[in-house]
Structure 1
């Protein structure tokens, strides 16, 4: 297998890890005011992701760094053409991170509610915009012969991309609700379980529509298989949630998100950013990549450090594996 293909797959894995892990973070943030009916319950929700949310964001930072080093043409075109939506995502993530840190600095209800709104907005906006961005990558964007984006911001707000944003939002909220049902006890767990079942139906309908539309735009045999498996995983997760098997339900929604993202990358390959102007203008794993020597060095670095990161993050989740309830929150 060529190193360009290896790094395409590795970047896909990094984004899969990001959407699976940060996905439930976004879902918890969006549901903060819905499932948390008082300050103590909202603190329970925040504490379920408190030890892991910042570690989960490392996945997208690593994905961006890998894209910059392995496919600099892809990185340059993506971050210049999608400048505004990616800037909005960055601002939202910064605001959400500040809100987590500052919410408890003052014992004032109005102060906390303002930061709660920041957590909500900082989770909602990226949950939508990541779907819009990836849908546009799969659909293709106007690129000229120099591989530069020649469209405008509103070119990105097409019906297919907006459906992608609705799909990621619904999937992340479902994933987050199931995570809360898995990590909490008492009334919060009961409400999360019920809400996951309701939102899950919306997520299933949106995901099926989006994946079918995606395969009509760009497809491959592997992408079709992955799309079917993603649908089955989501149905299995929702059925497990219905019988209160939250562990299996979480595995189901995590697998559904992972397989759906893998489906998009499989449909995209060997392109990394198709052009809607002319096929010759498209960026591929070949014309967007770094030199073979650069890819070789990066591969050895990844072989050494990736297992260390995975072991550390896995250990973090194991340490903070227990359920939380309002009785664990001091007055």
Structure 2
């Protein structure tokens, strides 16, 4: 494996880690209207992700930085061509951050409802748009000889891309429901398992169609193994949810997410942005990468820093592993709008 191939794998792993970890964060926010029927229950939901959600976003920041440094041509063409979708994701993520951080600053029901709406929007929008974006990367977009993307915004919302958006959204919603069940007890836990059970069949149907479409249109012979793994893991999710084994259900659903997003990257390789204008205009890991020297320096830096970051994040999950219930949530105490104390 050459150094360009290795860095393609690194970037794929970073996005896989981001979607598995941030996926349940999105899912929790997406399920606010269903599982957060009272303010106390919504605070329980927020407390399940409170210690970890901002750390999970570091995977995206690292993936973006690695993409910029390792494959600058890929970064430039994608961010220029996908400017509006990526801007929409950024605005939605900022809205979610502000809503989570500021929700408890003012003890006012209207303020909290507006923040809850921001959390929901900031969870649904990135989940859908990420799916649309990655589906377009695999399908290919119009790129000219100057490596400029010429597809219009409306060209990005074809049937395959929209199915990708639905796939990401349903996978993350189910991931969030199972995570809530894993992290809570009492009535919230019971309701989360019911929601997870209702989500299993539509999720199985949509993801099944998406992975088979991806494989038949863009996949390789060996990636049928990933399709089989995704479908088997989906059946595992259904079986373990019905058996009330939320820990195993969470594990199987993580495998589902790893499988279908891994299928996207595997189908893409060695391209990074195929061109529908002419095949020779497409970007590959070879014509879009930095110099070998730059990649070698990055490899040494990653070898020293990555283990420290992984150990710290693993320690955070271990420390905050306890379940949460509504009985553990104290009364709301905050500053009222306009008060000076």
Q: TM-score range by the shorter chain?
A: over 0.9
Q: Distance in 1 between matches of 2:259 and 2:297?
A: 29
* Alignment-derived partner of residue 168 in structure 2: 168
RMSD: 0.7
* Alignment-derived partner of residue 16 in structure 2: 16
Contact 2:177 2:193 in 1 (8 A): yes
Q: Distance in 2 between matches of 1:281 and 1:122?
A: 35
* Alignment-derived partner of residue 186 in structure 1: 186
Q: Distance in 1 between matches of 2:219 and 2:106?
A: 53
* Alignment-derived partner of residue 263 in structure 1: 263
* Alignment-derived partner of residue 48 in structure 1: 48
* Alignment-derived partner of residue 203 in structure 2: 203
Q: Give the secondary-structure state (helix, strand or coil) at the position aligned to 2:272.
A: strand
Q: Distance in 1 between matches of 2:66 and 2:45?
A: 32
* Alignment-derived partner of residue 338 in structure 2: none
Kindly report which structure 2 residues correspond to 1:156-305, keeping only aligned pairs within 5 A, or say none. Answer: 156-305=156-305
Contact 1:222 1:266 in 2 (8 A): no
Q: Distance in 2 between matches of 1:221 and 1:58?
A: 34
Q: CA deviation at 1:30?
A: 0.6
Q: Distance in 1 between matches of 2:298 and 2:225?
A: 31
Residues 1:70 and 2:81 aligned together = no
Q: Give the secondary-structure state (helix, strand or coil) at the position aligned to 2:142.
A: coil
Structure 2 residues not aligned, in runs of 5+:
332-341
Q: CA deviation at 1:200?
A: 1.7
* Alignment-derived partner of residue 81 in structure 1: 81
Q: CA deviation at 1:234?
A: 1.9
Contact 1:238 1:252 in 2 (8 A): no
Q: CA deviation at 1:216?
A: 2.2
TM-score scaled to structure 2, two decimals?
0.96
Q: Distance in 2 between matches of 1:319 and 1:33?
A: 29
Q: CA deviation at 1:107?
A: 1.1
Q: CA deviation at 1:230?
A: 1.4
Q: Give the secondary-structure state (helix, strand or coil) at the position aligned to 2:14.
A: helix
Q: Distance in 1 between matches of 2:25 and 2:223?
A: 27
Contact 2:183 2:323 in 1 (8 A): yes
Q: Give the secondary-structure state (helix, strand or coil) at the position aligned to 2:236.
A: helix
Q: Distance in 2 between matches of 1:217 and 1:290?
A: 30
Q: Distance in 1 between matches of 2:270 and 2:222?
A: 13
Q: CA deviation at 1:238?
A: 2.1
* Alignment-derived partner of residue 322 in structure 1: 322
Q: Give the secondary-structure state (helix, strand or coil) at the position aligned to 2:57.
A: helix
Q: Give the secondary-structure state (helix, strand or coil) at the position aligned to 1:272.
A: strand
Residues 1:38 and 2:31 aligned together = no
After superposition, the C-alpha distances for 1:112-171 in whole angstroms (9 at most, x for unaligned) are: 001000000000000100000000000000000111101110010111100000010000
Residues 1:147 and 2:147 aligned together = yes
Contact 2:200 2:237 in 1 (8 A): no
* Alignment-derived partner of residue 29 in structure 1: 29
Residues 1:61 and 2:61 aligned together = yes
Contact 2:127 2:169 in 1 (8 A): yes
Contact 1:222 1:263 in 2 (8 A): no
* Alignment-derived partner of residue 307 in structure 1: 307
Contact 2:103 2:115 in 1 (8 A): yes
Kindly report which structure 2 residues correspond to 1:58-137, keeping only aligned pairs within 5 A, or say none. Answer: 58-137=58-137
Displacement over 2 Å in runs of 4+: none
Q: CA deviation at 1:224?
A: 1.5
Q: CA deviation at 1:221?
A: 2.5
- What is the count of residue pairs matched by the alignment? 331
After superposition, the C-alpha distances for 1:53-87 in whole angstroms (9 at most, x for unaligned) are: 00001101110100000000000010000000000
Which piece of structure 1 moves more, 198-207 or 213-222? 213-222
Q: CA deviation at 1:235?
A: 1.5
TM-score scaled to structure 1, two decimals?
0.99
Q: Distance in 1 between matches of 2:96 and 2:207?
A: 26
Q: Distance in 2 between matches of 1:86 and 1:137?
A: 13
